Amino acid sequence: MRYQFQSEQGDFSFRPKIFTDAIKVIVWSNIIIFLLKIISQNPTTPLFNPVVDLFGLSSSNVWPRVWQPLTYLFIHKDFLHVFFNMFVLWMFGSELESIWGRRSFLKYYFLTGIGSGLVWLALNITNANYVLAGASGAVYGVLLAFGMMFPNRTVYLYFLLPIKVKYLVMILVATEFILSMNSASDISHITHLSAVLIGFIYLRYHWTWNDMKFSIRKYFAELSFTIKHKNEIKRVKLQQEVDHILDKINKVGYGALSKEEKDTLYTSSRKLYQNREKD
């Protein structure tokens, strides 16, 4: 059986502010499952591992193992594979989670990871001997999000070469596109590319939709304020009319009021009473 992993290593340098909750859970989950993979390996069958077979994504057994589009994100080839994926996720994902919040970050992480896995599955539906494993699709999605949010942030390639994040993402995407032409590679470049595309579409749609929701809410808030302000002006005017008539009653009595003043007193008092009931 041929395994396709999503990357072998990464070369990035960035100092995150904190080790956030979701990142911590993802990293520890990957480490624990990687250790289980090592423990479960039978030396007599080096090309077969029960953990990879159960949790890796493969068209041969994704049904009935419907959990594979999720669990393949926690399976890695070797130490360098899991180390660099988790290292890059920690570096770039921590700040995203601290800004977005745990729930929104996890939603985006698994959306790009599961989505790119399903794209790979659709393109390899007839390749029953292939197994997809690794979190690199979701990690590439995180890199894209970081690049879109902080395009001019400087990171250090190989810990030495300064480069802006937007150029780093462009170089990575271009490299993945070129490498995807080589079908003999055991790295699933198409998974990386599809994760970037899914992440881009989601973020553009999400931010556009948020802008639309903000504009709609702003419009109705302003409309509500305008209506309340006009109603308040009307209420004050009615109250002034009633107060004026009541002052006249105090001076000369109710009988001295004209028919128009009596009608105004009645209708205005009724409106004021109705408005108080609504409040």
Distance between CA atoms of 99 and 91, rounded to whole angstroms? 14
One of 1.10.3720.10, 3.40.50.970, 3.40.50.300, 1.20.1540.10 is the CATH number of 2-214, namely 1.20.1540.10
In the structure, what pLDDT confidence band is assigned to residue 278 with cuts at 50, 70 and 90?
low
In the structure, what pLDDT confidence band is assigned to residue 159 with cuts at 50, 70 and 90?
confident
Question: What integer is the mean pLDDT of 105-120?
Answer: 95
* pLDDT confidence of residue 13: 43
Residue 16: CA atoms inside 13 Å, Cβ hemisphere, count? 19
User: The whole model's pTM is what?
Assistant: 0.70
Is residue 209 scored above 70 in pLDDT? no
* Segment 223-269, tens digit of pLDDT: 777 888 787 888 788 788 878 888 878 887 777 778 887 777 777 77
Long-range contacts of 265-274 (CB under 8 A, 24+ apart): 268/238, 268/239, 268/241, 268/242, 269/242, 271/238, 272/235, 272/238, 272/239, 272/242
Q: Taking the domains of the chain in order of start, what are their residue ranges?
A: 2-214, 218-278
Residues 6 or more apart whose Cβ sits within 8 Å of residue 209: none
In three-state secondary structure terms, 167 is helix
* Segment 18-48, tens digit of pLDDT: 688 999 999 999 999 999 999 999 888 888 8
* pLDDT confidence of residue 185: 64
In the structure, what pLDDT confidence band is assigned to residue 14 with cuts at 50, 70 and 90?
very low
- The DSSP letter of residue 73 is G
Report whether 135 contacts 30 (CB < 8 A).
Answer: yes
Q: Which residues pair with 97 in a beta bridge?
A: none
* pLDDT confidence of residue 8: 44
Report whether 71 contacts 55 (CB < 8 A).
Answer: yes
